[in-house]
Structure 1
Amino acid sequence: MSTKEVAPPAGSGRMPASERRLLILESAREVFGKRGYYGATTDQIAAAAGVSQPYVVRMFGSKESLFLEVLDDALQTLLEAFRTALAAAEARGASPDERRYAVGAAFIDLATTRGLHTVLLQAFVSGEEPAIGAAARAGFLEIYRFLVHEAGANDDEINRFLGSGMLFGVLLGIRMPDVFGADPDATALMQATFGEKCMLVVDAARS
């Protein structure tokens, strides 16, 4: 179950531990996505989730363990979205190019899942940490294997897809949507990068 499936507690009843765990993961994804592994603290994550810092530590053990779980959840959410988009495209008889376009569109749509793109970027730049580096490499290779073995992408398509994906993460990481509309070059860059989904990305980043 991915963090995007978290539901708020009903009424004034106590939130089940399983839902609280997912809420913490969701909050941690956003905090790690903004501040990185080194800049984020369990205090900040606890505050974002509305729980105590000792509760976060008791549930996840350490900041590293929490980051690794957030990373795994983000990767699984990503791959689930890819497979859903690919299956839908195949079901409607789309061409191979259209199927790969659908996968790329699904990647951009995940901008509405707060922190997902940026937490992946933070993981990729934290590879000096042995456990994080190993998990990030494994996750990146899982994406590569999906593109090759499931989406049927060739080398050029893979290069474009992964390169675009990193660009998406960088633009969100440096908060380029903040100056969309105010800086003409930033606006043009965002439009060139995200195409018809540009406003979806801008609105999601500003929300």
Structure 2
Amino acid sequence: METTRQRLPAAERRESILAAATVVFGERGYAGATTDQIATAAGISQAYVVRTFGSKETLFVEVARRAVGRIEAAFRSAIEADDGRPVDQRLGQAYLELIADRGILLALLHIFSLGNDPAIGPVGREGFLTIYRLVRDEAGLAPEDASHFLAEGMLINTVLALQLHDCDDPDALELVTQACGGDLVRFRALAAG
């Protein structure tokens, strides 16, 4: 029996391209990734990727905006879900669960590393400031607590990207344990997806 492939709505196709691009950019970086690799990962033609986004740069910018949007949504949900824990703990848990997606984690790191790029840098800076403002204003953290929270998040990004949580070095394990609030088993489980 022959099966016919259902055509996805444009918004779903666009999201599938962004999801695939997040993984490919995360694995290969901006310079190493190609629209052809992204198209293959999304299961569509390279021409469709270019027709949808125009350029690799525009696609990367949209990946950055999507990542920031996912962080915003996760943080707003954590703020609203007042379960008795302090808001910074709820935010931290939401962030850990989100960046367990290695594509988002690595894409964020690539975005941050391109801060001097004239097209990508402003998007990365605005995204980072959006998250800072959300943590400070909507979550109600004092500026010093908000900046400390972001600093810990960047440390966690680095620890996960370097895969220090899988390292046998006692200093690496000590650092990871401190970064994850002492729950190394749970942190490893989140990192494993």
TM-score normalised by structure 1 residue count:
0.82
Shift in alpha-carbon separation, 1:50–1:175, aligned structure 2, 3 A? farther
Q: Which amino acid aligns with 1:193?
A: A
Q: Which amino acid aligns with 1:198?
A: F
Q: Which amino acid aligns with 1:44?
A: Q
Question: Following TM superposition, by how much is the alpha carbon of 1:88 offset from its aligned partner in structure 2, in angstroms?
Answer: 0.6
Q: Show structure 1 runs of 4+ deviating over 6 A.
A: none
Corresponding residue SS for 2:49: helix
Q: Does 1:199 align with 2:188?
A: yes
Contact preservation (8 Å) 1:24, 1:56: yes
- What does 1:16-165 align with in structure 2 at a 5 Å threshold? 16-89=9-82, 92=83, 94=84, 98-165=86-153
Task: Give the whole-Å Cα distance in 2 for the aligned partners of 1:39 and 1:166.
Answer: 23
Question: Following TM superposition, by how much is the alpha carbon of 1:152 offset from its aligned partner in structure 2, in angstroms?
Answer: 1.4
Question: Following TM superposition, by how much is the alpha carbon of 1:50 offset from its aligned partner in structure 2, in angstroms?
Answer: 1.6
Contact preservation (8 Å) 2:74, 2:94: yes
Number of equivalent positions: 187
Q: Which runs of 5+ in 1 are unaligned?
A: 1-10
What RMSD, in angstroms, separates the aligned Cα atoms of the two structures?
2.0
Task: Give the whole-Å Cα distance in 1 for the aligned partners of 2:171 and 2:7.
Answer: 49
Contact preservation (8 Å) 2:132, 2:147: no
Task: Give the whole-Å Cα distance in 1 for the aligned partners of 2:117 and 2:191.
Answer: 32
Contact preservation (8 Å) 1:118, 1:172: no
Q: Map Cα deviations across residues 5-49 of structure 1 (whole Å, 9 max, x no partner).
A: xxxxxx842333321211110010111122222221112211211
Question: Following TM superposition, by how much is the alpha carbon of 1:182 offset from its aligned partner in structure 2, in angstroms?
Answer: 4.2
Contact preservation (8 Å) 2:100, 2:191: no
Task: Give the whole-Å Cα distance in 2 for the aligned partners of 1:47 and 1:137.
Answer: 30
TM-score normalised by structure 2 residue count:
0.87
Question: Following TM superposition, by how much is the alpha carbon of 1:100 offset from its aligned partner in structure 2, in angstroms?
Answer: 1.5
Q: Which runs of 5+ in 2 are unaligned?
A: none
Task: Give the whole-Å Cα distance in 2 for the aligned partners of 1:33 and 1:176.
Answer: 18
Q: Which amino acid aligns with 1:81?
A: A
Q: Map Cα deviations across residues 116-169 of structure 1 (whole Å, 9 max, x no partner).
A: 122122111101211111111111111111111111112331232111111122
Corresponding residue SS for 2:16: helix
Contact preservation (8 Å) 2:88, 2:149: no
